[in-house]
Chains A and B, each alone.
Chain A
Amino acid sequence: MSQSALAVELKGIWKRFPGVIANSDINLKVTSGTVHAIVGENGAGKSTLMKILYGMQKADEGTISINGSDLVFNSPSDAIDSGIGMVHQHFMLADNFTVLENIVLGSEPKNGIRLDFAKARKQISDIAAENGLAVDPDVLVSELGVGDRQRIEILKVLYRGAKILILDEPTAVLVPHEVDELFNTLRDLKKEGLTVIFISHKLDEVLSIADEITVIRQGTTVGSVNPHTQNVSARDLAEMMVGNELPTPDAVGDTIQDEVVLKVENLSVFAKGGKAIVDDISFQIRAGEIVGIAGVEGNGQAEILDALMGIESASGRVQFKDEDITNKSTRHRRELGIGFIPEDRHRQALMLEAPLWENRMLGHQTKAPNAKGMWLTPRSAKADTKRIVEEYDVRTPNIDVLASALSGGNQQKLIVGREMSGEPKLLIAAHPTRGVDVGAQAAIWDHIRHARQSGLAVLLVSADLDELIGLSDNIKILLRGKFVADADPATVTPQELGTAMTGAGEAA
């Protein structure tokens, strides 16, 4: 099988966004008729790469060849024409249509001007039978569960004639037995000669299904392994994924005080279907303490942070110092002195089409230097924005430019500077140094450490394990919405942490 033709070959793919290099010199060979997994941390460049392969974005450099011929994709329809199909992580189905209608939507078989449902039904049941995808074509999609919906998505791409399937984090939404079913389906597809590209960061799953695994780290392919012929463990993969090049923040002496700043009891957040995304967690943070949360993205981190800020509704109890803030508004929490660096800066932390100094006010629009009573004070807000720009080395010609004009790293520096202003008592931070260059990263760490010495409590979520280990006094490992273990940052290595995060540690 390993000698057969290449279904997909990517050579020297580069993709740059303003201020960020998403993909640098990516090389990927996918053998026809195999399941090929692409693993890497979030932000490593997996999704950009798949968007390039599916024609949603164009590479700046590099070539794509499908079944041996070089092609240029200008849009997803070009990719579909060459037999590539994408199953998105978020399903794109119309709830009020039947399974059949959803599958044919957009490429309906026609008989004159009439829809030929009989023909479609036949085609679909043929495809379904060949690939072991059991679905009832006449059920409304709204009545189906997640696993069935995913099967419909797969049928949809097969119906359009796809021979190469891209599955983007397909198991993120599934419960374990659904994952098993999906894997059976994938094995059937492979038997039919189809090629599957499987994107994931769950290493144990990848090892059980993939014929070949390519690891991406910081935008580039760092290696490929064949789990059938090479003896690789989840631990080895985690090591490849995490790497070890960034400067390590050095932990400084104990600054932890007695006062408990944040006390969380039995916090749970539920998804719409009732599934617990955050599952009954409790912890506390004292003044001068940094508690880190380690976990693969999507295991509930964003929801914990949103719940603590009062943005997402949750059950349980949250106490800030002596005050029960469980039912308090986001604004009240911010006014108490809780700074927040959210995970998604474009969605949650910035007004992209507003000048920097207005962004400096965001989230702090009720306090000095931004407001006095009900009136805004633009002059002092601008002065303070200049201070942040200088102290945090935000590279910008002036403070009147729109936030969208800055590179991601400089936007992040502005956000960190803003949230560290006004002497917060508690900082809730997700990936505080994501996207910033190495020098600025060290400066941000210094700022956080400095504030900690004067009693700042920090809840830190980070995908950068060195950062997590270097800054935290205490690390909690989050898996599927639960704290599954604690790690001592004084002794744990990034490799051990990476393994524990993926759940592979339980087996190892």
Chain B
Amino acid sequence: MNLRRIGTSLIAPAIGLFVSLAVTAVILVAIGASVSTVFSSMWNYGTSPRAMSLMLNLATIYFLSALAVSIGFKMNLFNIGVNGQYVLAALAAAVVASNLTLPKVASVSITIFVAMFVGAAWAGISAWLKVARGVSEVISTIMLNFIAIGIISYIIVRTPIGTETSLNIRGTKAIPETGMLRGIAFIDPGTQIYGFFFIAIFIGVAYWFLLNRTRFGFDLRATGKSATAARTSGVQSNRMIYVTMLLSGAVAGLVGLPYLLGDTGSYTLQFPTDWGFIGIAIALLGRNNPLGIALGAILWAFLDISSGQLVLEGVPREISTIMQGLIVIVVVISYEVVRRYQVKSEQTSVAKALAKQEASV
């Protein structure tokens, strides 16, 4: 029974991948490109050691972002504000880290704490609005994204926190090397894999434990499966909204750190601001399951990284964006189809098993 359940849950992403490849092939033919050359060159580049290292780094970021989103998803709470939470958190982390002169472990720990705190606080505003004023978290988190970006621009452009960094971009003061968490090069000798790669794995495992092995996780999942049944079972929904949103925000706070501490060392106006939305797509792909999310993040990162090859083949690189979009749509649809099929088939198989039992008695 369990094997079958796993089997059917793998069908959906397989269908998604297959359909999106097929549609992409059609598009490629339509614009007159050679399907086999494009796919094989994406594959060849994507599996090179350097590309794989870059891919893991990007996947680390996407993984954290998707985890943050999926904590909320598990109880039907939609945190669309991971963007705002992580940029504010990254800025705060950059400011704090650049002023620390402590040993690495202490400095990085403090930086992580600050980022999680700021992310949680920003998400907490939405939780409060929802509980106290009944504002949908979808609306408030989206709005807070814009506010966060505005605040950051103001701080960097108008306050002494922002300075001219190299290349004439305004940003925060550089973090000293003791405050950085660079990483190690183990696939490609020339490319380091973020130290946060390992932290992300740890957080993925912790997420699984929290959800599946703690009372809090049970309350959270119960709320997602049936809010009324959860309430009857003694779950206090307001408290759950607070805790879940704060947790989601705290993880969201980490999203910018792999890049900040592993690469730039400074928060500049060019810091990417859309990883939160990618996290939503990947959470959907991975069905809020940490393993699924990890695979989804790697797939997404693969398409991002290898899309550079498309240009070399004379094909617009947006093709990979189309593929990403297609995968999400098809996977979400096929998950629902598979889920309905699963419920139905289980009902019939239970009925059959019972009929057999009865007959043998």
Contact = CB atoms under 8 A, between A and B. Distances in A.
Contact of A375 (B213, B228, B229): B213
Tier of interface size on chain B: 20 to 34
Contacts of B225: 351-354
Nearest to A306: B232
A380 interface: no
A374 interface: yes
B354 interface: yes
Contact of A311 (B1, B232, B351, B354): B232
Interface stretch (B32-40, B169-177, B216-224, B325-333): B216-224
Contacts, number: 102
A331 B213 contact: no
A350 interface: yes
A309 interface: yes
Contact of B350 (A347, A351, A353, A397): A397
Contacts of A397: 349-350, 353-354, 357
A349 B232 contact: yes
A402 B218 contact: no
Interface in A448-494: none
Q: Which of A333, A351, A378, A404 is packed against the most chain B CB atoms within 10 Å?
A: A351
Given A350-B226, A365-B218, A376 B1 contact: no
Contacts of A376: 212-215, 217-218
A330 B231 contact: yes
Given A353-B225, A405-B343, A330 B232 contact: yes
B347 A404 contact: yes
B347 to A, nearest CB: 5
B232 A361 contact: no
A427 to B, nearest CB: 15
Query: Of residues A331, A333, A335, which shows the largest number of chain B Cβ atoms within 10 Å of its Cβ?
Result: A331
A365 B229 contact: no
B234 interface: yes
A375 B233 contact: no
Contacts of A330: 231-234, 236
Contacts of A350: 226, 229
B236 A329 contact: yes
Contacts of B235: 331
A334 B221 CA distance: 19
A366 interface: yes
Contact of A365 (B212, B215, B228, B236): B215
A318 to B, nearest CB: 16
A378 B214 CA distance: 10
B228 A329 contact: no
Interface residues of A, number: 42
A332 B233 CA distance: 10
A363 interface: yes
Contacts of A406: 350
Interface string A336-376: 00001010000111111110001001111110000100111
A362 B225 CA distance: 11
A363 B233 contact: yes
Contacts of A348: 228-229, 232
Contacts of B318: none
Contacts of A340: 232
Contacts of B228: 347-348
A331 B234 contact: yes
A395 interface: yes
B138 to A, nearest CB: 21
A351 B231 contact: no
A404 B228 CA distance: 16
A375 B212 CA distance: 9
B313 interface: no
B232 A351 contact: no
A364 to B, nearest CB: 8
Given A352-B226, A405-B343, A309 B232 contact: yes
A400 interface: yes
Given A334-B234, A401-B350, A405-B347, A351 B214 contact: no
B336 interface: no
A400 B2 contact: yes
A362 B226 CA distance: 11
A398 interface: yes
B346 interface: yes
Nearest to B239: A329
A362 B222 contact: yes
Contacts of A364: 233
A34 B221 CA distance: 52
B226 A351 contact: yes
5 contacts: A309-B232, A330-B236, A342-B232, A351-B222, A401-B346
Given A348-B228, A365-B218, A405-B346, 9 more contacts: A329-B236, A330-B236, A350-B226, A353-B225, A354-B225, A364-B233, A366-B234, A397-B349, A405-B350
List of 6 A-B pairs having minimum Cβ-Cβ separation, nearest first = A331-B234, A363-B233, A397-B353, A351-B225, A330-B234, A348-B232
